[in-house]
């Protein structure tokens, strides 16, 4: 009587396939919460509490000649419903003369304005500020005019962030 080794080989291949799939799945999980998936993203930790950093940011936006176009906060909305989550707020910042130049260079780039500054409460009671540099935001459009405008905006946003965070 002769036994075939094919079932054993088949099980080995199945085991290898399962291990490969589990490895791929584990890699996906490990990368599921990428903190900065886009180029040009900056994260600046501050020594300030969430509300203090948000107020400092509002003042820095105004002091640097930009406009606070809108603000959104899931944590404030949750608080209004009696739910407590870590503080977060998105401040949307731009200025009309830049908007006009942006649209003259690329109507499609209009989706990028206003530019966003994201304040998040950290576990230790401080807060961080995340933003994408204007040059990174507008780079995909391949427009010299947009690139020039973004290069003007980069130091303005750096100064806003520096003044707000104290760094």
What's the CATH code, domain 41-165? 3.30.310.70
Both structure tokens of 157: 């946003």
Which pTM does this prediction carry?
0.79
Structure confidence at residue 167 (pLDDT): 85
The proportion of the chain whose per-residue pLDDT surpasses 70, expressed as a percent, equals: 79
From the CB of residue 39, how many other CB atoms can be counted at a distance below 10 Å? 12
Please name every residue paired with 44 in a beta bridge, in sequence order, or none if there are none. 129
Q: Quick check: 21 pLDDT over 90?
A: no
Do 161 and 127 contact (CB within 8 A), yes or no? Answer: no
28 versus 143: the higher-pLDDT residue is: 143
Q: Quick check: 26 pLDDT over 50?
A: no
Structure confidence at residue 36 (pLDDT): 75
Domain map (residue ranges) of the chain: 1-33, 41-165
């Amino acid at each position: 009587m002769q036994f075939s080794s094919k079932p054993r080989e088949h099980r080995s291949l199945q085991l290898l396939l399962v291990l490969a799939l589990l490895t791929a799945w584990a890699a996906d999980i490990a990368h599921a919460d990428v903190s900065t998936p886009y180029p040009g993203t900056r994260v600046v930790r501050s020594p300030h509490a969430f509300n203090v950093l948000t107020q400092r940011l509002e003042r820095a936006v105004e002091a640097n000649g930009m406009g606070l176009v809108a603000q959104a906060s899931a944590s404030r909305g949750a608080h209004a419903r009696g739910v407590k989550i870590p503080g977060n707020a998105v401040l949307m910042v731009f200025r009309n003369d830049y908007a006009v130049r942006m649209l003259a260079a690329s109507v499609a780039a209009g989706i990028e304005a206003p530019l966003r500054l994201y304040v998040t409460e950290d576990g230790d009671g401080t807060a961080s500020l995340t933003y994408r540099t204007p040059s990174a935001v507008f780079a995909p459009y391949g427009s010299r005019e947009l690139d020039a405008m973004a290069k003007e905006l980069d130091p303005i946003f750096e100064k806003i962030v520096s003044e707000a965070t104290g760094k």
